[in-house]
Amino acid sequence: MRIWRRLRDERGYDGSYQLVQRYVRQRKRDWREPGDGFMGLEWEPGVMQVDFGRALAVIGGERTGVHCLVVTFPYSNMRYVVALPGENAECVCEGLETVFSRVGWPRG
DSSP annotation of 37:
S
Distance CA(73)–CA(43), nearest Å, equals 9
**Model confidence at 107: pLDDT above 70:** no
The pair phi, psi for residue 18, each rounded to 5°, is -60, -35
Q: Which of 97, 74, 72 is nearest to 84 (CA)?
A: 97
Mean pLDDT of the chain: 88
**pLDDT band, residue 40 (cuts 50/70/90):** confident
Domain positions in the chain are 2-31, 49-103
Which tens digits make up the pLDDT trace of 58-79? 989 999 999 999 999 999 889 9
Tell me the one-letter amino acid at 7: L
Which tens digits make up the pLDDT trace of 88-103? 999 999 999 999 998 8
